[in-house]
Structure formats: C-alpha cells, structure tokens
Structure 1
Amino acid sequence: MADNSSGGFNAGLAFIVGGLVVVVAILAWFLLGRGGAPDTKKVDVDVNLPEVSAPAAPGGG
C-alpha cells in the first residue's frame, strides 16, 4: 500500500504559501492601489547659457 504520511507537510506548505500570497497582495494594494508615490511637485527648470560662436576658420584660399 502507498504511504501517505506526507499529507501534513503538504498542508503546512500550502498554508505558508497562502500566507505569503496574502502578504504580497496587501503590499501590492498599498504600493499600487493607493496611487503609488505621493503627489510630486512640478519642477520647472530654465537654463540660460551664454551664446558661444565657433572660432573663425583660417583663410587658406
């Protein structure tokens, strides 16, 4: 006859895996369901650089 003594281990493993699934679902709800990151500020950057012209090419004509 087949020995079915590992049934308790399978049930314990299923309980642990189920608990991990619940924890991941709760974390996903907090991180993704609530909009993720809090409201961000609008940053407007204005960069003004002086005009740079290329040096004159030597006249070799």
Structure 2
Amino acid sequence: MAEETNTSGGGGTGMAFIIGALVVVVAVIAYFVFAGGVTQKKRVDINVSAPQVEAPKVPDAPKPAG
C-alpha cells in the first residue's frame, strides 16, 4: 500500500511573519546607528540677563546706654 502524506501545512506562516518583522526592525535600527539617522544641527543660545538688585541697607545697631 502507498503511504499518504499530509502536505496541507501552513503552520509556518506566523513564524515567517514574525521573522520578517524582526528583519525590518533590525534594518531600521541599523540605519539609525550606522547612517546617523535623522541629523539636524540645532543651535541653542540661551542668554539670561537679570537686572542688578541691591539689598536694602541695614540700619545701625543701637548704641549701648551708658
């Protein structure tokens, strides 16, 4: 008698999708790591100028009696 083989698989479809997604993620990470990714030269110039404030003068201590 001939042996019958069941070739109606399809269980590897999910695994192929996961492996394909991982390959895409690794490719995107490699692009950002090796090509520098999105590079924008930003110049931040912060200048904080506060007005000069003087403390009020402290009155003289009272003179001792005597």
Query: TM-score scaled by structure 2?
Result: 0.54
Q: Judging changes above 3 Å, is the alpha-carbon distance between structure 1 residues 31 and 53 closer, same or farther for their aligned structure 2 residues? A: same
**1:42 shift after superposition:** 2.6
Question: Which entry has the higher C-alpha Rg, 1 or 2?
Answer: 2
Larger helix percent: 1
Aligned to 1:30: 31
Distance in 2 between residues matched to 1:37 and 1:52, nearest whole Å: 45
Q: TM-score normalized by structure 1?
A: 0.56
Indicate the RMSD between aligned Cα atoms, in angstroms: 2.5
Q: How do residues 1-61 of structure 1 correspond to structure 2 at under 5 angstroms?
A: 8-9=10-11, 11-57=12-58, 61=62
Code of the aligned partner of 1:17: I
Q: List per-residue Cα deviations over 1:12-39 (Å, max 9, x = no partner).
A: 1210111111110122123332213313
Structure 2 residue ranges without an equivalent (≥5): 1-8
Segments of 5+ residues of structure 1 without an aligned counterpart are 1-6
